[in-house]
Amino acid sequence: MTVPDEITTPDVMIDVEVLDRNIARMASATRSRGVKLRPHAKTHKVLEVAAKQLAAGAVGLTVATIGEAEVFAKDGVEDIFIAYPLWVGVRQAERLRRLAETARITVGVDSAESAIYMGTNLGADAGKIAVRVELDSGHHRSGVHPGSAVAVALAAADAGLDVTGVFTFPGHSYKPGMPRLAAGEEDAVLRQAAEALTSAGFTLLELSGGSTPTALLTGKTAATELRPGVYVFGDAQQLELERCSPEDIALTVASTVVSHHKTGPDEPGRFIIDAGSKILGSDRAPWATGYGRLLDYPAARIIALSEHHATVQWPAGAVLPERGQRLRVIPNHVCLTMNLVDEVSLVKSGTFSGTWAVAARGRNS
Amino acid sequence: MTVPDEITTPDVMIDVEVLDRNIARMASATRSRGVKLRPHAKTHKVLEVAAKQLAAGAVGLTVATIGEAEVFAKDGVEDIFIAYPLWVGVRQAERLRRLAETARITVGVDSAESAIYMGTNLGADAGKIAVRVELDSGHHRSGVHPGSAVAVALAAADAGLDVTGVFTFPGHSYKPGMPRLAAGEEDAVLRQAAEALTSAGFTLLELSGGSTPTALLTGKTAATELRPGVYVFGDAQQLELERCSPEDIALTVASTVVSHHKTGPDEPGRFIIDAGSKILGSDRAPWATGYGRLLDYPAARIIALSEHHATVQWPAGAVLPERGQRLRVIPNHVCLTMNLVDEVSLVKSGTFSGTWAVAARGRNS
């Protein structure tokens, strides 16, 4: 597929047919595993994509911030989980209160201190906010060990909050060979925490887990709900982790070759495209082969990235693309790309078909 | 300084007094070296900051894209250099034509092909656009070797464009120990290209160079104009390259401690703050000590970064900050941070004093 003429590079381009297929596949996969799907909307931040996910059977949305929740709640989404250990001061409490007027709002908590602080600031409204205790399943970011979950849950209940479950993010699944191992660890901590909390008298509704690399694995899981995000678009990380195929890539950054370097006939060729870190994002895992991939040229590598330049290394001996040629780049981490643009271009069967606003872009707080 | 109460974290916070001092220092340094200053506005993207730079004597602005030029030209800036080897199709030509109605517009060119294409699409208006030939001074991104500058300049002149100089970006100055070496190489290519072009009959007005790491070096330079950008705010890269001091840091990301990890008494402590890659940006040079620095805690290191979490390693034995404590983070690369927010908060003498819009945010094309 070429980049439609209507698109000025660099620009984010979404193949709506591939997107629809990805949404349907994850909906069907989670249904057949008997788990609920609560997709993470921080990946796309687009109202139209959220609507497609909900229409396909998602029970609600996951978001990372109160600001993101506000955008989707305003659009009518009625069940939102802010999967983050929020520190809820007076202002955050007021915003949560307002959100709870139209939506069922759940937030993360990973310490007695933050539960007590949140409960105090919510005051009489504490019971309107559901909380889930965050568990560390091996990613070692936020979250507690399952053995500490009871203490946090008791503090939250004492603070008047409605404890409705636990959650974890197996972020250590983002390494070659790790998805199945991380899924096993996720399973174990969810199971352990559920047992401990049940023994302590809690009635747990949801055990929430899941990342894109682990969500499509088959087999039994202790989770009752999964929260993958990236699956809607795919990206170079998922591709290099073999969690998706080139046909599953729904989002690319349309770019133009702007500059060539002359190298010897036996050396790999190098050229510059106009998509840099200000549209691709600059995440690069230690195991990544570069700063993104070229969808139509699997052997090409992006070896350097500036704000508006990507340096592409071309296979030795192959003819370099002409200046002016338009190439589709797959970003390493699509959540960062979507957070860099206010609008995306849509393509259907290779034809430009409109734009979507990235409604929750930049809602960091 | 603490984070003023008006600020909800994470948020970009600018100390206007430090900013003013940085702008005055660079203006004075370039004046005393006898070179013009054309600051790169891609760093800040803010109309008010550009106005301060121009008031302090800058001859005009540098930008990276036509979209950025449009934002500043609309605000009345009359001299803008798009320091990028643009591939100018029919639509870009129309936009350049419109820009040239109110501003003196200069663009970069680094091949005969792109000069001819630009000239063809500008048609009768080609003479209204000034071009500078881009040189490679060792960064090996775009730009030609000085020996090829004449061929590009001749093609541009043949295409009807007004050749008014050369430019280079010594991006390889961004490494410990490299600024002076890179400045020397910049000097050499500017000199060589100037000689070659003068011999070929060109009257060169400007030899443009400069990056923040090289601009404040003392000594003679062949450059007639410098284009530093980052100096207005400073960032962790400049700090670790010893190109600025903590007192020169005008921009920080206000953050809150949201989660603690328990570690043994002799191990370094770890905690999580709510500023991640979606506000700090995820650039990390191989020589960087982490994903940013904490302004008030020089011994702390940001050892991991997710979209909304930074994992901070605290010195062994030191008391961890409490949950809820607000800390100021210095991003590694401030140009990415400014491109992530629509608005910044201003602080004067520690007091909140309003906001600025990031008017050119996201103008990638």
Q: What is the pLDDT of residues B202-242, one digit of tens each?
A: 997 899 998 898 888 877 889 999 999 999 999 999 999 99
Q: Tell me the average pLDDT across B60-75.
A: 98
Q: Which residues contact B151 (CB under 8 A, 6 or more apart)?
A: B112
Query: What pLDDT score does B101 carry?
Result: 98
Domains B17-230 and B238-357 in one fold:
no
- Which has more confidence, A294 or A174? A294
Q: Are B257 and B325 in contact (CB under 8 A)?
A: yes
CATH topology of domain A16-234: TIM Barrel (3.20.20)
CB contact under 8 A, A309 and B339: no
Nearest by CB: A308 against B65, B256, B259: B65
CATH architecture label of A238-357 = Beta Barrel (2.40)
CA distance B118 to chain A (A): 11
Q: What is the pLDDT of residues A297-325, one digit of tens each?
A: 999 999 999 999 999 999 888 888 999 99
Q: Single out the residue of B101, B149, B102, B96 nearest to residue B122, CA to CA.
A: B96
Q: Is the pLDDT of residue A71 over 70?
A: yes
Q: Tell me the average pLDDT across B107-123.
A: 98
Q: Tell me the average pLDDT across A264-279.
A: 88
Orientation angle between helical segments A47-55 and A16-33, nearest 10 degrees:
40
- Which has more confidence, A171 or B7? B7
Nearest by CB: A307 against B42, B89, B342: B42
How are beta strands B326-330 and B293-294 bridged, if at all? Answer: antiparallel
Amino acid at A115: A
CB contact under 8 A, A142 and B309: yes
pLDDT grade for A264, boundaries at 50, 70 and 90:
low
Q: What is the pLDDT of residues A168-204, one digit of tens each?
A: 999 898 889 888 899 999 999 999 999 999 999 999 7
Query: What pLDDT score does A265 carry?
Result: 67
Q: What is the pLDDT of residues A325-346, one digit of tens each?
A: 999 999 999 999 999 999 999 9
CB contact under 8 A, A365 and B11: yes
Q: Tell me the average pLDDT across A291-295.
A: 98
Q: Look up the CATH superfamily of B17-230.
A: Alanine racemase (3.20.20.10)
Q: What is the DSSP letter of B302?
A: E
Q: What is the pLDDT of residues A78-137, one digit of tens each?
A: 999 999 999 999 999 999 999 999 999 999 999 999 999 999 999 999 999 999 999 999
CA distance B346 to chain A (A): 17
Contacts across the A-B interface (CB distance below 8 Å): 152
Q: Which residues contact B320 (CB under 8 A, 6 or more apart)?
A: B260, B269, B271, B314
CB contact under 8 A, A110 and B365: no
What is the Cα–Cα distance from A336 to A283, expressed in whole angstroms? 8
CB contact under 8 A, B307 and A113: no
CB contact under 8 A, A42 and B141: no
Query: Exposed (0-12), middle (13-18) or buried (19+): which is B298, by Cβ within 10 Å?
Result: exposed
Q: Is the pLDDT of residue B329 over 80?
A: yes
Query: What pLDDT score does A73 carry?
Result: 98
Expressed in percent and rounded to 5, the helix, strand and coil fractions of chain B are 35, 25, 40
Kindly list the domain boundaries of chain A, sorted by start residue. Answer: 16-234, 238-357
Q: Are A234 and A334 in contact (CB under 8 A)?
A: yes
Q: Is the pLDDT of residue B315 over 70?
A: yes
Q: What is the pLDDT of residues B19-51, one digit of tens each?
A: 999 999 999 999 999 999 999 999 999 999 999
Q: Tell me the average pLDDT across A232-242.
A: 96
Chain B residues 332-351 with CB within 8 Å of chain A: 335-336, 339-342
Mean pLDDT of chain B: 95
Q: Single out the residue of A339, A335, A357, A328 nearest to residue A15, CA to CA.
A: A328
Q: What is the pLDDT of residues B266-291, one digit of tens each?
A: 777 899 999 999 999 999 999 999 99
pLDDT grade for A231, boundaries at 50, 70 and 90:
very high
Chain B residues 177-206 with CB within 8 Å of chain A: none
Query: What pLDDT score does B215 carry?
Result: 87
Query: What pLDDT score does A263 carry?
Result: 63
What is the Cα–Cα distance from A195 to B357, expressed in whole angstroms? 51
Tokens of A280: 């691709």
CB contact under 8 A, A335 and B113: no
DSSP for A299-362 reads T-EEEEE-SS-EEEEE-TTSPPPPTT-EEEEE-S-HHHHHTT-SEEEEEETTEEEEEEE-TTTT
Q: Are B118 and B109 in contact (CB under 8 A)?
A: yes
Look at the pTM and tell me if it is higher than 0.90: yes
Q: Tell me the average pLDDT across A22-47.
A: 97
Query: What pLDDT score does B96 carry?
Result: 98
Amino acid at A195: E
CA distance A64 to chain B (A): 7
